Amino acid sequence: MRLAARITGVGAYLPDRILTNADFERMVETDDAWIVERTGIRERHIAAGHETTSTMGAEAARRALVTAGIEATDLDLIVTGTCTPDGLFPAAATLIQHQIGATHAGTFDVNAACTGFLSAFSVATNFIAAGQAERALVVGAETLSRIVDWTDRGTCVLFGDGAGAVVVERAPEGERGGVDAMVLRADGAQAPLLYSQGPCSADALSHEAKIIMDGRNVFRHAVTAMADASSEALRRAGLTADDLALAVPHQANLRIITAVADRLGMPMERVFVNVDRTGNTSSATIPIALAEAVAGGRLAAGDRVLLTAFGGGLTWGALVLEWAGVRVPAAVRMPTGALVASPSA
Ligand code: UT7
């Protein structure tokens, strides 16, 4: 069943500090050529000491509200996809609610690792379709630099920090925009392939929160899972890859993205890629990419868009949307795509 909930605003925030591959050459046994060839990543943004998932999420949210042309007080729901909230509680969404002044919104976080944004978006669109909310903010935000093992060259070069946000509103009958199909899946038996323990884990005193990953096996699962979920979402929507104006996949590794596109028969011209500049920001990759796609004029009203993600859990999923069109006011239509630039830029 089509959900009458559509994206009306997008925004993103990337912290100022950039770590390049050359910086990693000074930290671990690696080199720029290996990182670029195996991952496509050239640089990633790293949060400043005072920044957190909620502060970055709030900044992305402010931009999304501007593009939607609504106030924070118009929101009745905020859902944040994150696996690196500021603390165990309150939820990052609750801290974002306070920072943006969304005084009429209910709040909670969704943790599905890198599938967090798709999961949070699915919750919000279902709230709207069920008549339980009118205007929702969905944030994907992560401060992965705080749980990266900076001595593990197999993982530390992959991740970055950042936040993206979308405003979702009811699509009036007969108007453009909506969710054509959504597929969410998980296989908790594969948890040992990619996880981070925390203060509530068994024997917690012996565990530090850090990302542990079997990269090769995660890679294999990622390609099959995203391609299969995308095919199923397209089938349920009654569409084929040829009907898609743009695919916005989770940005973990350029090789994963090209392998998924290949399986779907999508030419790379219609696949959004920014992993070279952001690294893997987990739940934040898709909303950051959406904000960049809008800023770059790559989405038009009526376009069909595929979103697909994969992450720890293992979790994965895919959504097919009809794009409603996001108006970018002149105030935020600045050089270098100010929808995503940091406030100081
Ligand atoms: O958001 C979803 C979560 N994560 C992912 O999607 C990541 C999925 N996995 C991957 O992206 C890839 O598996 C990696 C980029 C992590 C690794 O690429 P790979 O082609 O699978 O390499 P590998 O793990 O098979 O390692 C190949 C070699 C190894 O050396 P030996 O054993 O062949 O001597 C590694 O030790 O590359 C070595 N290596 C490195 N060399 C230089 C691993 N990391 C590095 C590094 N620099 N940073």
Last residue of a domain, one of 122, 142, 170: 170
Q: Are 160 and 189 contained in the same domain?
A: no
**Does any ligand 1 atom lie closer than 6 A to the CB of residue 114?**
yes
Give residue 332's pLDDT: 56
* Structural domains counted in the chain: 2
**Is 192 among the domain residues?**
yes
pLDDT at 33: 97
* Whether residues 123 and 42 fall in one domain: yes
Answer yes or no: is 333 within a domain: no
The residue nearest atom 30 of ligand 1, judged by CA position, is: 154
* Per-residue confidence (pLDDT) for residue 207, from 0 to 100: 73
Residues 6 or more apart in contact with residue 212 via CB below 8 angstroms: 149, 155, 194, 195, 196
Shared domain check, 220 and 157 = no
Residue 260's closest CA among 226, 231, 232, 283?
A: 226
Q: Do 47 and 102 share a domain, yes or no?
A: yes
Q: Is 271 found in the same domain as 195? A: yes
Enclosing domain of residue 209: 178-322
Minimal-distance CA residue to ligand 1 atom 21: 216
Tokens of 323: 């794009």
249: preceding bond cis by omega (within 30 degrees): no
- Strand-strand pairing, 178-186 and 304-311: unpaired
pLDDT at 220: 96
Last residue of a domain, one of 141, 170, 199: 170
Q: Which of 178, 183, 171 is nearest to 322 (CA)?
A: 178
pLDDT in tens, 237-288: 999 999 999 999 999 999 999 999 999 999 999 999 999 999 999 999 999 9
User: Closest by alpha carbon to 278, among 208, 197, 337?
Assistant: 337
Catalytic residue list: 114, 250, 280
| Nearest-CA residue for atom 44 of ligand 1 | 154
Q: What one-character DSSP code corresponds to residue 247?
A: E
Q: Are residues 161 and 269 in the same domain?
A: no
Is residue 328 assigned to a domain?
A: no
Indicate if 161 and 186 belong to the same structural domain. no
Looking at the structure, tell me whether residues 202 and 138 fall in a common domain: no
DSSP codes, 322-333: E-------GGG-
315-337 per-position pLDDT tens digit: 999 999 999 988 766 555 443 44
Q: Ligand 1 atom closest to Cα of 153?
A: 48
| 217 and 128 in a common domain | no
218 lines ligand 1 (CB under 6 A): yes
What's the pTM value of the predicted model, to 2 decimals? 0.95
Question: Which one of 170, 199, 214 terminates a domain?
Answer: 170
Report if residue 337 sits inside a domain. no
- Out of 216, 226, 278, 314, mutate this one to test ligand 1's pocket (max ligand atoms within 8 Å of CB): namely 216
Is 156 in contact with 149 (CB distance < 8 Å)? Answer: yes
Does one domain contain both 185 and 144? no
Distance 318 CA to ligand 1 centre (A): 25
Residue 325's pLDDT is 84
Residue having the nearest C-alpha atom to atom 48 of ligand 1: 153
Distance (Å) from CA 252 to ligand 1 centroid: 12
Asked if residue 249 and residue 201 are part of one domain, the reply reads: yes
Of residues 109, 81, 6, the one with CA closest to residue 286: 81
* pLDDT tens, the chain, 345 aa long: 789 999 999 999 999 999 999 999 999 999 999 999 999 999 999 999 999 999 999 999 999 999 999 999 999 999 999 999 999 999 999 999 999 999 999 999 999 999 999 999 999 999 999 999 999 999 999 999 999 999 999 999 999 999 999 999 999 988 999 999 999 999 999 999 999 999 889 887 767 899 999 999 999 999 999 999 999 999 999 999 999 999 999 999 999 999 999 999 999 999 999 999 999 999 999 999 999 999 889 999 999 999 999 999 999 999 999 999 887 665 554 434 456 644 443
Question: Exposed (0-12), middle (13-18) or buried (19+): which is 344, by Cβ within 10 Å?
Answer: exposed
- What pLDDT digit, counting tens, does each position of 63-76 carry? 999 999 999 999 99
Please check whether residues 304 and 262 belong to one and the same domain: yes
Q: Let me know if residue 142 belongs to a domain.
A: yes
259 CB less than 6 Å from ligand 1?
no
- CATH code of residue 216: 3.40.47.10
